[in-house]
Amino acid sequence: MRKRFDIRVQPGFAMIAMFCFFLLYVPIFTLVVYAFNSGISIARWEGFSFRWFVAAWNNNLVIEAAIRSVQIAAIAAIIATAVATLAAIATTRTAGYRGLTFKYSFINMPLMVPEIVTAVALLILFSRIKVWTGYSGLGYLILAHTAFCIPFAYLPIRARLENMDLALERAAADLYATPFKVFRYITLPFLWPGILAGLMLSFVISLDDIVITEFVKSAGQETLPTYMLGQLRRAITPEMNAISTVFLLLSLAIVTIFFFLSRSNEKSD
């Protein structure tokens, strides 16, 4: 009998995989190490110190930009996930019809269009709205991030819905449950891991976005990524490493929380 093909036992697979992991994680490891450098160089080790973490913590511009980034990311992720959930239900809990594939493509369009194109389009649109309304607050950034994050939230939610067994939903409908009650007591509990995945992905995408933010933001609306970009144009110090390390820890914390929430939800199922 022919052996079943398994990529893991192919010659050279382990070496190629280790090389890829090396290229991926060594730069991150180097960034974290030099965040604790006591000197001002990012290429020469001068001793261990928390100096740059303290400097970033005491930098009011960094704190303001970080708070603004988290606020925008949280609001945009919540709105994007809510819209994506409704869109996923509307495109999966229906019989197939002409135009459904076009709707999939339309929702996922921001993933295929270069981000710079989306940024320029939003800049032109919002510049006209600013002239008409006189408003130049954070609402534009929230709307821009929400629009960009919707497809990232939509994909895991839709995948979860497509893999769900419809037997329970049909049984509830046969027992005269209203569509809202079917969603509340049957669909939503099973859909929760997909919603969490979409929310987490949207939050991270919004948190580190720089292209759309750079084009849409008004004066005094620096987010942490745009602040770091501005600093890198002037002088590179380990303070940027320290900020990036905190970003990394925040991302790891989000992934860890999502992992445990997903496991607890699967056990309860």
168-190 pLDDT, tens per residue?
778 887 777 888 888 888 888 88
Give the pLDDT mean for 65-85: 92
Q: What is the pLDDT of residue 81?
A: 94
pLDDT tens, position by position, 141-160? 999 999 889 999 998 898 88
CA–CA distance, 164 with 166 (Å, rounded to integer): 6
pLDDT tens readout for residues 106-129:
888 888 888 888 899 988 989 888
- Alpha helices by DSSP H, listed for the chain, are 13-34, 51-57, 60-92, 100-107, 109-112, 115-133, 139-162, 167-174, 179-182, 188-207, 211-216, 224-234, 238-268
pLDDT tier for residue 77 given thresholds of 50, 70 and 90? very high
Look at residues 71, 76, 104 and name the one whose alpha carbon lies nearest to residue 90.
104
Nearest to 239 by CA among 10, 20, 65, 5: 65
Q: What are the structural domains of the chain?
A: 59-268 (1.10.3720.10)
pLDDT, residue 253, reads: 84
Identify the band that residue 5 occupies on the pLDDT scale cut at 50, 70 and 90. Answer: low
